[in-house]
Amino acid sequence: MPTLINDVDLPVVTTDLSLSEAERREQLHQLAQDHWIAKAELGYVITTHDDCAAMLRDRRWFSALSLIAETQNYESEEWSSRPQRQSILSTEGDDHQRIRRIVSPAFTPKSADRLRPFMRDVVNELLDPICEVGRSEFVADICEPYPIPIICELLGAPREDWELFSRLAVDIFKIFNGNLAADAPAIIAASNEMDAYMLNLIAERRAAPRDDLLSDLISAEQEGDRLSTDELLSMANALLLAGTDTTRNQLACAIALFAQHPKQFELLRSNKNLASQAVEEVMRYLGAVRGTGRYASEEIIYRDLIFPQGTLVFPNFVAANHDAQKFEEPLAFEITRESGTPHLTFGSGIHYCLGAFLARAELQEAFYVIADRLPNLRLDGTVSWKPMQNGIWGPERLPIAFDSGH
């Protein structure tokens, strides 16, 4: 007989801001040893790899991205009156399948690979000034600016607009910081400015298509079906959202790890062919996306528990990616790790990251160049981390030193 989830005695997970990143990882790892589910402030945390993957693949669990304001008890006329577009990040069912079917051909390994030379050029250009001095605040100098030129190149936005994109991205990403009461005006203003910019770019590409992703999305057609202007705007914003802050933070996490694990960095330096494996291990061990939210679109019975309609669950990727049932010595950082189990940092199911090929390419190319040009990489001070409650997370400051002149 299934039991109502509210009636089950579960351990409670709290966000203890005094814990270090390593302590939090250990805490979640230990929790998952005994409990696949725990109570959280707003719902339930899912801790094991199998259960996280199962819930992400179950289409009855809908993305909670559209509930960000509700989960923070935030209301304002300005927020509720902003354009409500269907986004591939949050749509479900037939609407999601339709959009994904149309746009998927534009997000292939081939489309990511054609940008690899450009990615290397961007990394080298950013590294040139810091390689002269042998030290850097790596987040500000490299991680923050790195993805913007690539997204602009992908969409076909000119170089002179890189700084504009970067500024707008910083404000739009505040939606994940858990403080809409303070951040909503900046988010709305940046979103409106981005919409105006993209509407102009869409009009230009409709009139004169180019060899870029935006032109591909405009011309993409499946069985006579094309994206509307609103859907094109939504896709462009989703690309900016999913392809900028995640890459910034994931690269910063990687360099922090390599600076703390010099033997692993030397392995990469001695064998650049390990770059692909290194990317996967970094994303498993210290993913910038630490989890996601889902809500029950109907009453769901799972593992003999009844989840009423509207119940919030939070598949925790930190716990899942350190599941001892799936990963041998999960608390060890080993870039030569060979595992038949994929990490969940890109998600799973219908909302699996559409830009995964692009993200992997960006990180791999950065690893190739950084391994060559930053010998004897080490920390040059204390790493400060963003608040744990941030949806997209990583170092806020990352002071490093290395041998100059490369």
Angle (deg, nearest 10), helices 147-155 and 116-133: 150
Q: What is the pTM of this model?
A: 0.91
Kindly report the CATH number assigned to the domain that includes residue 23. Answer: 1.10.630.10
**Locate tokens 């509307």: which residue?**
228
> Cα dist. 171→147, 185, 231, 368 in Å?
16, 9, 21, 31
241, two tokens: 């959202």
Query: What number of other Cβ atoms are within 10 A of residue 90's Cβ?
Result: 19
Q: Is residue 59 part of a domain?
A: yes
Shortest CA distance to 401 belongs to which of 378, 369, 384, 371?
Answer: 378
pLDDT of residue 64: 84
Q: Is residue 406 part of a domain?
A: no
284, two tokens: 């498993």
Is the CB of residue 330 less than 8 Å from the CB of residue 322? Answer: yes
Q: Report the distance separating Cα 307 and Cα 298, nearest Å.
A: 8
Q: Which residues of the chain have pLDDT under 70?
A: 17, 221-224, 241, 390
Side chain identity at residue 108, one-letter code: T
Q: Is residue 149 part of a domain?
A: yes
The number of distinct structural domains making up the chain is 1
Shortest CA distance to 253 belongs to which of 149, 145, 396?
Answer: 396
3-state secondary structure the chain: CCEEHHHCCCCECCCCCCCCHHHHHHHHHHHHHHCCEEECCCCEEECCHHHHHHHHHCCCEEECHHHHHHHCCCCCHHHHCCCCCCCCCCCCHHHHHHHHHHHHHHCCHHHHHCCHHHHHHHHHHHHHHHHHHCEEEHHHHHHCCCHHHHHHHHHCCCHHHHHHHHHHHHHHHHHHCCCHHHHHHHHHHHHHHHHHHHHHHHHHHHHCCCCCHHHHHHHCCECCECCCHHHHHHHHHHHHHHHHHHHHHHHHHHHHHHHHCHHHHHHHHHCHHHHHHHHHHHHHHCCCECECCEEECCCEEECCEEECCCCEEEEEHHHHCCCCCCCCCCCCCCCCCCCCCCCCCCCCHHHCCCCHHHHHHHHHHHHHHHHHHCCCCEECCCCEECCCCCCECCEEECEEECCCCC
329, two tokens: 């010595």
Shortest CA distance to 99 belongs to which of 269, 230, 5, 287?
Answer: 230
Q: Is residue 31 part of a domain?
A: yes
What domain range includes position 101?
3-401
Instruction: Give me the residues paired with residue 137 across strands.
Output: 399
Q: Is residue 328 part of a domain?
A: yes
**Locate tokens 């061990």: which residue?**
285
Q: Report the distance separating Cα 167 and Cα 171, nearest Å.
A: 7
Q: Is residue 77 part of a domain?
A: yes
Is the CB of residue 319 less than 8 Å from the CB of residue 32? Answer: yes
Report pLDDT digits (tens) over 25-63: 888 888 888 899 999 888 999 999 999 999 999 999 998
Side chain identity at residue 38, one-letter code: A
